Amino acid sequence: PEAPAPRIAVLGTGYLGATHAVAMAQLGMEVVGVDTDPNKVAMLTAGKVPFYEPGLPELLAEQLATGRLRFTTDVAEAVGWADVHFVCVGTPQSKTSHAADLRFVEAATTSIAQNLTHDALIVGKSTVPVGTGARLRTLVAQAAPAGVRAELVWNPEFLREGKAVADTLHPDRIVLGGTTADSEALLRRVYAGPIAEGSPVVVCDLPTAELVKVSANAFLATKISFINAISAVCEAAGADVKVLADALGHDIRIGRQFLDAGLGFGGGCLPKDIRALMHRANELGAHQASALLQQVDEINMGQRSRVIELALEACGGSVLNRRIGVLGAAFKPHTDDVRDSPALNVAAALHLRGAQVTVYDPEAGDTARASYPTLGYATGVDEAVEGSDVVLVLTEWDEFVTAEPARLATLAKNPSVIDARGKLDAARWRDAGWSFRGLGRAAA
Ligand code: UGA
């Protein structure tokens, strides 16, 4: 007879954990999501997702209704009940260096080990510096009760915010690091659905699995900084970076994705992950890898300065007391996440230089206000544009791309727009009377 489906515990119910818990229930397993924050647990139990993620609220409600999914703060109960324990807590950038802060991962892993009542598999999903899993194995061995066998493996997650559900249920690949024959078989049962649908499985050692994850993000970041570096050449030479990126993208070895030049990458992952890898590579003596990523980071941050410069130029050299309409606060569209948001970083810098900045974002208004309370906030595009000396498009929400430039021109004090994401139709805006500047495109 077939063994019963493994019971799943998911520690940490942020972006990664909440999505993972819901997805595991969707695949037919019984799941408990565990968090130390009682507010998050109460919200999720009530069917509310504490962040904006398209499709997740519907799936959460559906899975709660099946009775397979629940949430708790009681780690001892959850760990005593489950067979497979996913570690999905955050690894933020440390406050004092580029290194990742591993406190939450260590605490979660230790508390799993301490509360085990039977043999179990601990599966790290959080993004960690290479070598972390090996250290955690020692912690687990010390903390687990006598007679209980606990194995620890790494199974990194590659989900994108805004596409979290689809990425979790249909991953590009499933990486299983440091497994034994038994734990590999167990995880293949957990992921039977996606595997049956064609997700390839890569079985490897622990350090390779840890490194696959950060290397993937480092590569994506490098691609973005590459096109942004080239965009400066385009601007100086009178070439158009968008057409160039399309032409490059036709080469399938290069590919068109992640070649959108503009304000660069932000969010809770790419910036901190490349910095953590820079730091770790240096520790390991791989200084050139570190130097490469340092450049990627610098080019990325330079794009923010470049947009600030363009805003200064548009205002005749100083933004003091100028009204600046900022469209976009989230680090990318389809999320309300403002962690390391390039848009808010630019908005705040202009505010510091004495501009009156009014920000509008379709979803991230509340999270933006919580992090940047001194900026002004509008409830719509019109209100942000009204009376402005310059408008900056800093996140490429559809609402901004499809906005009607002719009507908006009547609202602005001075119809001047800076498209920092390269998604607006320059000719349309110019025809409507706007002075238009974009990154990587010659000024007309
Ligand atoms: C990223 C990775 O894409 C995921 O695969 C990974 O799992 C995740 O980090 C993570 O480590 O958890 P995410 O942070 O959700 O996902 O965002 P992306 O869609 O990768 O975008 C990152 C940033 O790059 C955004 O600020 C976006 O505006 C910028 N970007 C993206 C560009 O500037 N140009 C592009 O062409 C593409």
- Residue pair 23/169 in contact (Cβ under 8 Å)? The answer is yes
Angstrom distance (rounded) from CA 18 to CA 405 = 40
Nearest Cα to Cα of residue 191 among 173, 218, 164, 214: 173
Final residue of a structural domain among 204, 236, 258: 204
Residue 215 forms part of a structural domain: no
Question: Domain range spanning residue 368?
Answer: 220-438
What spacing in Å lies between the alpha carbon of 268 and ligand 1's midpoint?
Answer: 9
* 412 CA → ligand 1 middle, Å: 32
d(CA 425, CA 421): 11
Beta bridge partners of 359: 326, 377
Q: Are residues 194 and 251 in the same domain?
A: no
Instruction: Write out the chain's pLDDT in tens, 444 residues.
Output: 677 899 999 999 999 999 999 999 999 999 999 999 999 999 999 999 999 999 999 999 999 999 999 999 999 999 999 999 999 999 998 989 999 999 999 999 999 999 999 999 999 999 999 999 999 999 999 999 999 999 999 999 999 999 999 999 999 999 999 999 999 999 999 999 999 999 999 999 999 999 999 999 999 999 999 999 999 999 999 999 999 999 999 999 999 999 999 999 999 999 999 999 999 999 999 999 999 999 999 999 999 999 999 999 999 999 999 999 999 999 999 999 999 999 999 999 999 999 999 999 999 999 999 999 999 999 999 999 999 999 999 999 999 999 999 999 999 999 999 999 999 999 999 999 999 999 887 666
Residues 57 and 167 in one domain: yes
Task: Give the CA count within 13 Å in the CB-facing half-sphere of 19.
Answer: 26
Flag whether 444 is in a domain.
no
DSSP state of 418: E
Which helix (H) or strand (E) element contains residue 352?
A: helix 342-352
**pTM of this structure:** 0.96
Same domain, 177 and 318: no
The answer on whether 35 is annotated among ligand-binding residues is yes
- Among residues 367, 373, 375, which one has the least CA distance to residue 337? 367
Q: Does the residue 52 lie in any domain?
A: yes
Strand ranges inside 238-285, DSSP E = none
Stretch (H or E) spanning 87: strand 84-87
Please tell me whether residues 199 and 273 are part of one structural domain: no
Question: Is residue 353 domain-shared with residue 231, that is, in the same domain?
Answer: yes
Pocket of ligand 1 (CB under 6 A): 127, 158-161, 217, 220, 224, 258-260, 262, 264-267, 269-270, 273, 331-332
Q: Is position 116 within any domain?
A: yes
Q: Give the active site residues.
A: 269
Q: Are residues 289 and 342 in the same domain?
A: yes
Atom of ligand 1 nearest to the CA of 273: 11
Query: Are residue 240 and residue 96 in the same domain, yes or no?
Result: no
Extended beta strands in 249-352, E state: 323-327
ipTM over 0.95: yes
